[in-house]
C-alpha cells in the first residue's frame, strides 16, 4: 500500500528514474522523509544547484544539483508565514563542513563555515507558483574550504533553518566564486 502510494506520488511529481534511485538509495533517512511527507499530504522539497567558477576567467570548475531536506523547523516556518505571524522571511544561505546526514530535527548546520545574504528570492509564475527560487553568491576568497553542507536561514546568525543539504565535498578555492540556486517546491 505504501509502495503504491509512493509510486503514484512520485509519478505526479515527474521524478525521473535516476532521481528516484538517488532519492531512495542515497540514505534511508531520505526514503523515510518521502514516505512521511506523502502520508501528511503536503510535500515541501527542494534541490540546490552549485556552480563554482574561477572568478578571474569565468571557467566553470563544478556545476551540479543536490537534493535537500526541508526540516521540521522549516515546515513550521512555512506554516508561520501562512498564518502571518510576522517571522522574518528566509534571507540567508550558509555553507559548512559537516558530514552527518540531514534529519528532520536539524536546526543548524553541523559545522557552519560562512553565511551570506540572499541575492534574490523569487516565487514562480504560472504553473510554477508553488516554487520559490533562492539565489546566493560567494565571491572569491569568501567561504573558502571543503564544503559538504548548505542551508537556508531567516537570520544573519542562528535563526530558523528552512532546509539542509549534505553532499560530497566541494572544495572552494580562494580564487573561485560560487553561486547556489535553491528551488523549493510545495506540492500536495
pLDDT class for 24, splitting at 50, 70, 90?
Answer: very low
Q: What is the pLDDT of residues 61-90, one digit of tens each?
A: 999 999 999 999 999 998 888 888 888 999
Question: CB under 8 Å, gap of 24 or more: what pairs does 55-62 form?
Answer: 55/139, 55/140, 55/175, 55/176, 55/177, 56/140, 56/175, 61/176, 62/170
In this structure, what is the dihedral angle of CA atoms 122, 127, 129, 132, given to the nearest 10 degrees?
-40
Residue 10 pLDDT:
46
- 146-164 b/e (C-beta count within 10 Å ≥ 16 → b): ebbbbbbbbeeeebbbbbb
Residue boundaries of the structural domains of the chain: 1-41, 44-187
SS3 139: coil
Question: Higher model confidence: residue 26 or residue 131?
Answer: 131
Amino acid at each position: 500500500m505504501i509502495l503504491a502510494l509512493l509510486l503514484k506520488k512520485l509519478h505526479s511529481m515527474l521524478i525521473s528514474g535516476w532521481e528516484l534511485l538517488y532519492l531512495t538509495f542515497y540514505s534511508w533517512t531520505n526514503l523515510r522523509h518521502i514516505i512521511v511527507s506523502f502520508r501528511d499530504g503536503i510535500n515541501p522539497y527542494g534541490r540546490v544547484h552549485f556552480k563554482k567558477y574561477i572568478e578571474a576567467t569565468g571557467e566553470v570548475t563544478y556545476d551540479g544539483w543536490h537534493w535537500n531536506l526541508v526540516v521540521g523547523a522549516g515546515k513550521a516556518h512555512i506554516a508561520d508565514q501562512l498564518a502571518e505571524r510576522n517571522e522574518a522571511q528566509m534571507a540567508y544561505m550558509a555553507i559548512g563542513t559537516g558530514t552527518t546526514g540531514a534529519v528532520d530535527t536539524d536546526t543548524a548546520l553541523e559545522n557552519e563555515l560562512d553565511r551570506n545574504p540572499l541575492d534574490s528570492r523569487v516565487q514562480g509564475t504560472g504553473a510554477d507558483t508553488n516554487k520559490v527560487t533562492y539565489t546566493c553568491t560567494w565571491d572569491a576568497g569568501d567561504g573558502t574550504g571543503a564544503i559538504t553542507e548548505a542551508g537556508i536561514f531567516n537570520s544573519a546568525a542562528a535563526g530558523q533553518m528552512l532546509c539542509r543539504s549534505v553532499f560530497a565535498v566541494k572544495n572552494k578555492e580562494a580564487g573561485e566564486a560560487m553561486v547556489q540556486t535553491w528551488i523549493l517546491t510545495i506540492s500536495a
